[in-house]
Structure 1
Amino acid sequence: MGEYDSGSKLMIPESMQGVSYDIGGQIRMIWEVMKEPLIVPMLKVGVYICLAMSLMLFMERLYMGIVIILVKLFWKKPEQRYKYEPIQDDVELGSSNFPVVLIQIPMFNEKEVYKVSIGAACNLSWPSDRLVIQVLDDSTDPAIKQMVEIECQRWASKGINITYQIRENRTGYKAGALKEGLKRSYVKHCEYVAIFDADFRPEPDFLRRAIPFLVGNPDMALVQARWRFVNADECLLTRMQEMSLDYHFTVEQEVGSATHAFFGFNGTAGVWRIAAINEAGGWKDRTTVEDMDLAVRASLRGWKFLYLGDLEAKSELPSTLRAFRFQQHRWSCGPANLFRKMVMEIVTNKKVKFWKKVYVIYSFFFVRKIIAHMVTFFFYCVVLPLTILVPEVHVPIWGAVYIPSIITILNSVGTPRSIHLLFYWILFENVMSLHRTKATFIGLLEAGRANEWVVTEKLGDSVNNNKNKTSDATAKKTNAKAPKRTRSKFVERLVYD
């Protein structure tokens, strides 16, 4: 026993001699033993990798910042860069000079918003005999299906060409519903298809402003509109989302449209040329970002896209953490999974220029969809905190302070009104970085949840709208509904990753 004690004592570093053998002492002893030979080298490698990723993200943000300034100052407006002639009403020709447009509204148990989306589509300023509206309802609640069908019948009785379409199963989710809708015999008479998710409500002149670009430019496949959010001021969660999404629309999509004529379709509030969809292979459900999948495939076949920042469609942001987390999992996992599936197809493609391949692979996918999530988590949430415990590892001030500050400021240009919330936005992004990084790895490795699809819960904006009404009856109704919107369970506030 004495020999064992003396032998064990020799294994303890001199700095640890005399430390009591409690749990804390044992942890400190293990830390001291492992720090120099293992922790310090690994942490230094981690710092170098994270600094490299930070520089990649910084250069990407700086490049887009410079380009967007040039676009705003010197680029011609889309109406001047492309052939554009508004479609005019003609007394002699009637409505025959208007192309036939298909409107698709995919739905899934959209009890709160189905009326506004159907109403917005039916109120589009387009000849009724040149407009076909499909409500693609995958709802599983019989009561909701009945309400949606009745709403469609109500508009049909007013002379609107609207069809209510259901499927026996949800195979392919949204992509499956859209694909099934295009198979209908009457679709062969349609030249273009506009897609609006159930919470989207385009302005009446939406088609009149978007369609002429497609009519005048045969090589254009898509016209994408900007999203505006009816509930951005509902809570701090929606304000944080608005900051991130406004940068995406104000900078990322504007730059992609102006310089490379490529950006990822947002899945809604866009008008497609049906011939381009068919040539690209149609809708596919191999990932949870069927919209981005279609956009990349169409781009590889030479089709061009146009983003119109001044063409807007109102929509709703997730106002609960649970709904937001499911949405972010899909938005982070899907692009990574698509990158895994398509990277070699992009590399070997011969129809697009080399620099466009570089833009799609490096800028669009690698930096924005993979690096951006990973550097936020590993650098700011893991490596930097660990360097406080390991003073032997030094992080240069330009990597720890200057670059993150510039990236944060550049991200705020899309939403100037929320610049005072930057501190909270940083904390918010760091908290969500673990969830997004995990989803990114699931997509890259095509793990178990790679194809998980949970429809984002929508609550409607009735409470916000009712704030402007002064009648006592409406006020009572609003007060009665308010608890349903603001109440949240404690377990839903916890993030399980």
Structure 2
Amino acid sequence: MADFILYTSLFLIWIMLFYHAFLMIGGYFHSLKYREFEKKISTTGEEFPKVSILIPAHNEEVVIEETIRSMIRLHYPKDKLEVIIVNDNSSDDTGKIVDRYAKKYSFIHAVHTKPPHAGKGKSGALNQGLLASTGDIIAVYDADNTPEPDAIRYLALGLKNDPKAGAMVGKFRVVNANKNILTRLINIETLTFQWLAQAGRWFWFKMATIPGTNFAIRRSILDEIGGWDEKALSEDTELSIRVYNMGYYIRFFPAAVTWEQEPETLKVWWRQRTRWARGNLYVIFKYLFTMHKLKNKKVLIDISYFLFTYYLFFGGVLLSHGIFVVNLITDLQLSIGKISIALLIVGFLLFLTEVCLALSMEKHQLTLKNFILVLFMYLTYSQMWIFLVAYASFLEVKRVLFKQEAKWYKTQRFKQPAKNNHSA
């Protein structure tokens, strides 16, 4: 019995490892090809579409001013741009800061939410911002984001030059990557996710997932589907499914870059990632039993990916870990001993190769220090994700069984130096 469980867990783990290797190859090819699309939209000389940037902000006085300044620096005609900052029931000076800039710049607008349409989470704030917007294209940035000057131009013109794209997704970088070991590990994680899961899926399947920030979507789509799902903790993943079901694809365009702040303490990281995991589990449950009703069957690739990752892959890892621990206490008479050790070693080397390949696609990231961190990451950070998903699954099951309301956790922000170093 123990042999069967171990074989099953290793099989599940290796399916995902091979799939990730497949994706990373696609990500590498996309890193070589996306400049062609960038060159195309840079030489068209077309008229700029009207863009509304939505920035939900709840108690963001620590970071909101720098974000607003980055909006002012955008290389986009200001008569074609409106920046709508949704002060979502803040109790700090967020509203005062936003009002000050709104008085000075005509393209910056403040929306102050009031109960009962306030403080319920990001989706609710975005829907309030959408009601106040007038753009043909809706872009979203978190309140801690500082997009590079050309980011909106790439996203907006990208959509205009690709009628099959319902949304255009940019790349995000970690502005506080050098703060401590945790932020360095998160930096490696985010780069790997984008070049593997985003770029890889786009290259092979013409699919990507809308992130929480640095993306643009056609207003007509949001109007037709009724905006964001206010019950979803991962509103971005849920929105992606509905965009695909309308017959569009979501394009990953890494030329559009934004810099965002990541958690600097383990407590903040745990709470933020738990919300992400619970949000993705909500999406799985929402569409798992209604997949036959989806018009675009291509969506099944993404739903299956989330299902496999959160249940089969992490389940396989937990099973293998459990067998290993039990075998230390009592002899389970495993017949796979040396083979399992060899598979674990090869699996680790494959993980190492995939992450290093992702780092090689960014300037100054494939360094000796980061290589050592990847070794450390496998034994620590990656393992924490396993327990986090188990915990998030428990919370979601409890929420469903007891019909609890999902509560939004706003990620704590940290004060950054006045002049950010974007060479992190």
Shorter chain as denominator, the TM-score bin is 0.7 to 0.9
Instruction: State the partner residue of 1:385.
Output: 325
Q: Is the 8 A contact 2:241 2:299 kept in 1?
A: no
Percent identity, aligned pairs only, is 20
1:116-155 matched pairs, under 5 angstroms: 116-153=66-103, 155=104
Q: Is the 8 A contact 2:170 2:215 kept in 1?
A: yes
Q: Does 1:181 align with 2:129?
A: yes
SS of residue paired to 1:263? coil
Deviations 1:196-218 (A, max 9, x none): 10111112222222222211222
Cα drift, residue 45 of structure 1: 4.6
Q: Is the 8 A contact 1:333 1:450 kept in 2?
A: no
Cα drift, residue 384 of structure 1: 1.9
Query: 1: distance between equivalents of 2:349 and 2:323?
Result: 17
Cα drift, residue 77 of structure 1: 4.3
SS of residue paired to 2:279? helix
Q: Aligned partner of 2:82: which letter? A: V
Quickly say closer, same or farther: Cα 1:464–1:378, change in 2 above 3 A: farther
Quickly say closer, same or farther: Cα 1:62–1:290, change in 2 above 3 A: same
SS of residue paired to 2:290? helix
Quickly say closer, same or farther: Cα 1:322–1:277, change in 2 above 3 A: same
Query: 2: distance between equivalents of 1:303 and 1:271?
Result: 13
Quickly say closer, same or farther: Cα 1:397–1:306, change in 2 above 3 A: same
SS of residue paired to 2:284? helix
TM-score (norm 1): 0.75
Q: Choose which of 192, 195, 211 in structure 1 pairs with 2:156.
A: 211
Q: Is the 8 A contact 2:26 2:201 kept in 1?
A: no
Cα drift, residue 219 of structure 1: 2.4
Higher RCO (C-alpha under 8 Å, 6+ residues apart): 2
Q: Is the 8 A contact 1:377 1:437 kept in 2?
A: no
Q: Aligned partner of 1:422: which letter? A: V
Query: 2: distance between equivalents of 1:87 and 1:103?
Result: 23
Q: Choose which of 400, 408, 415 in structure 1 pairs with 2:344.
A: 400
Q: Is the 8 A contact 2:173 2:257 kept in 1?
A: yes
Instruction: State the partner residue of 2:302.
Output: 360
Instruction: State the partner residue of 1:240.
Output: 185
Deviations 1:103-147 (A, max 9, x none): 111111112101011111122122222111111011431544323
Listed as ranges, the gaps of 5+ residues in structure 1 are: 1-40, 90-96, 467-497
SS of residue paired to 2:193? helix
Q: Is the 8 A contact 2:56 2:86 kept in 1?
A: yes
SS of residue paired to 1:204? coil
Tell me which structure has the larger Cα radius of gyration.
1
Listed as ranges, the gaps of 5+ residues in structure 2 are: 360-365
Query: 2: distance between equivalents of 1:264 and 1:111?
Result: 29
Q: Note the aligned Cα RMSD (angstroms).
A: 2.7
Q: Choose which of 275, 278, 281 in structure 2 pairs with 1:336.
A: 281
SS of residue paired to 1:457? coil
Quickly say closer, same or farther: Cα 1:177–1:256, change in 2 above 3 A: same
SS of residue paired to 1:102? strand
Q: Is the 8 A contact 1:340 1:444 kept in 2?
A: no
Instruction: State the partner residue of 1:193.
Output: 138
Quickly say closer, same or farther: Cα 1:198–1:102, change in 2 above 3 A: same
Q: Choose which of 221, 240, 259 in structure 2 pairs with 1:276.
A: 221
Instruction: State the partner residue of 2:174.
Output: 229
Q: Aligned partner of 2:389: which letter? A: R
Deviations 1:320-364 (A, max 9, x none): 1111111110111111111111123333323x25xx24422323x
Query: 2: distance between equivalents of 1:463 and 1:433?
Result: 36
Instruction: State the partner residue of 1:429.
Output: 382
Cα drift, residue 428 of structure 1: 2.1
Instruction: State the partner residue of 1:307.
Output: 252
SS of residue paired to 1:327? helix
SS of residue paired to 1:462? coil
Instruction: State the partner residue of 2:362.
Output: none
Q: Aligned partner of 1:151: which letter? A: Y
Quickly say closer, same or farther: Cα 1:394–1:171, change in 2 above 3 A: farther
Query: 2: distance between equivalents of 1:330 and 1:175?
Result: 14
Q: Is the 8 A contact 1:175 1:290 kept in 2?
A: yes
Q: Is the 8 A contact 1:226 1:308 kept in 2?
A: yes
Q: Aligned partner of 1:434: which letter? A: F
Query: 2: distance between equivalents of 1:59 and 1:254?
Result: 16
TM-score (norm 2): 0.87
Instruction: State the partner residue of 1:64.
Output: 23
Query: 2: distance between equivalents of 1:331 and 1:47?
Result: 29
